[in-house]
Amino acid sequence: MSIQFDEKSRIFLLMTQNSTYQIKVDEYGFLLHLYYGKKTKQNAEYALQFVDRGFSGNPYDVGDNRTYSMDILPQEFPYRGSGDYRNTSLVLENANGSTGCSLRYVSHEIRSGKYSLPGLPAVYANADEADTLEIVLNDNVSGAEVILLYGVLPKYDVITRSTLIKNNSNDSFFVTKAASACLDFLTGDFDVISFYGRHTMERNFERTHVGHNAFTIGSRRGTSSHQYNPMMILADTTATEDIGNCYAMSLLYSGGFEGSVEKDQINQIRMIMGMQPEQLRYPVKHGDTFVIPEVILSYSHEGFNHLSYNLHQCIRHHVCRGEYKTSVRPVLINSWETSYFDIDANNLCRLAKEAAQLGIDMLVMDDGWFGKRDDDNSGLGDWYVNKEKLGMPLCELIDTVNELGMKFGIWFEPEMVSEDSELYSRHPEWAMTIPGRQPVRGRNQLVLDFSRREVVDAVYKQMCEVLDHNNIEYIKWDMNRSICDVYSHTTENQGRVLYDYVLGLYDFLERLHINYPHILVEGCSGGGGRFDAGMLYYTPQIWCSDNTDAIDRLFIQYGTSFGYPISSAASHVSAIPNHQTGRSTSLETRGIVSMSGAFGYELDLTKLSDEEKEEIRKQISDYKELAPLIMDGRYYRLTNPFTDEVAAWQYVSKDKKEILFNAVRLANHGNMTPIFVKLKGLEKGAVYKEEKTGDLYPADILMEIGMPLKIELIQYQSYQMKFIKE
């Protein structure tokens, strides 16, 4: 059992292969956080310091003891109302208008297996893979019962956290702030690593020293957003890819979020991850339970590479689900950058014929096939095939594609509605609009109120009509605007709408997962605007970015790799000059970059030269051979493209017999200096043969000196080498 409780000291030990997490129930029933770090069974209680700090309040229970204050003690689940003036995990608004509570330990339960959450995604595991700790806290005045849930997956050095808030009183109260994960550190000099961005340039790596301030990231957009990713890392200032303590928090939630790191008055540091508190005022009535989304915690004392490995393994094997979660995905061609809204069956058939000859597995028909949809101003909400525009019945088009030996996929944007649609004309109240105000449009569209069951049901029914009568094997689920006018026409409390919206989204996706298990669903929100672990529970891959430029993708995919498995990031080769940047890169470079993910193409194959087609044929053949190593191998970041002149990364098979090395040179200069890239994770003392040349390389020297890159007068020169252990 990975969870232990000592009755005498009242200390919980949560242990993974390489880490220990300690919690103490103290004499007053408060839950204190003692330790999270390198594995040990020794007691960290001695580190608690009781000192009279001016203007730090004391619980009434402690009498005249001014040295006991929640304002300075490390806590497991800090809340407003305890005398702690730091950032907190929970704020309750009581029936009398006051805020705060006083939560004390009541009981606990330790059991085999991993808890699940009603209506929300959560890490899952068998009884022999995980254990659960459930700690019950109670506030006697409000009747709030708080259940802290911990899931321990020892193999991956992962601890999950979620919280249930129950109302056992006759009065209602409101949750106005909710975060499941909090880590308090008594000592340490840390940096915080976050991943900021914008549409077409998501998840940029940024490292900031933690000073005496509150560092906060988050999203007020109703989704996890392009602007910040709901994953962050706290690390020693000296930590690198290979050494140093580092802690990750990754939120399994696709709505608004907030993550913060704060250094307090006595140099202690608190890290919190949870829901966005703005516009949250969730009513919890008698007998109701509010579920706070789960956070994945992981710790590594071996730097960022090992931390990423923990997250990759956990998400790939215990978050992603379905037939495709660990399998190699089909190589696809998407119609978007080929024809945009100009969907025509004959052109699609020609594209499919070219694709089949090159070895591509699937044709995806993107936006423009439904309703009155000729641009991004119309048609959303009317999910029926526009046969006149398409030129033939959809089933006939799919049959033609299938006869070529290819699968067929299709694009939907189920959460949106256009004002000229039939759906909107029948049900304008189904859109999120505020009475008496003109709505704020995004991409000339409105958001459907997925907090309402009847709206989800109606759109789902439309979608099923398409899926049930056609051999569709892939769905691209898109969402192309942020939520602004937060209002539901059927609820008295608008503070619950954004949370209920996410529950409605998850309900829709869960129905697809259950009723269409053979369909691969790819998530998308203007590319990477909703790239989070919560969506990966329903869609095992997500369109990494609408930016298909190979060089920009090096930066985007670098940041993504810190928290998410390679198999989850969809990446395509597109035309040059690139449609987002105007940049031209070689087909070889575009292929190597795109192979680091769910591989595909997004260009007009009919306009390529014979030489280009032959090169694509070779790329696809190579990818299908390399894909098991790319998907299952351990991923290593070898350089940082934000600071280095080369972007380099690597995959190592579990037995260390196969190595795939990739690199792209980012800068050209006169009289270039030599570039060496050190490899990682090789078997010490072994000799590796490079497949193309047959050259032999000693593993130890490759890891100490590195692989020299042959420099030619080529812009964005790329390299791909496969090594086999002799």
Q: Which residues are catalytic?
A: 532, 612
> How far is CA 347 from each of CA 351, 354, 363, 372, rounded to the nearest angstrom?
6, 11, 12, 19
Report the candidate in 681, 586, 558, 664 with the shortest Cα–Cα distance to residue 629: 681
Distance CA 295, CA 273 (A): 7
Under 8 Å between Cβ of 533 and 319: yes
* Paired residues of 44 in beta bridges: none
Report the candidate in 526, 523, 585, 595 with the shortest Cα–Cα distance to residue 557: 595
Distance CA 283, CA 299 (A): 35
Distance CA 163, CA 101 (A): 16
36: enclosing H helix or E strand: strand 31-38
Helix segments in 359-393, DSSP class H: 387-390
Per DSSP, the three-state class of 344 is coil
Distance CA 503, CA 178 (A): 16
Q: What is the 3-state secondary structure (H, E, C) of 598-664?
A: EEEEECCHHHCCHHHHHHHHHHHHHHHHHHHHHHHCEEEECCCCCCCCEEEEEEECCCCCEEEEEEE
- Residues 6 or more apart whose CB falls under 8 angstroms from that of 661 comprise 648, 650, 677, 679, 707, 719, 720, 721, 722, 723
Q: What angle do CA 377, 383, 386 make, to 5 degrees?
A: 80
The two counts, helices (H) then strands (E), for the chain are: 13, 37
- Long-range Cβ contact pairs of 1-10 (< 8 A, separation 24 or more): 1/110, 1/112, 1/131, 2/130, 2/131, 2/152, 2/154, 3/110, 3/131, 3/132, 3/133, 3/150, 3/152, 5/108, 5/110, 9/43, 9/45
Both tokens of 363, joined, read 């044709």
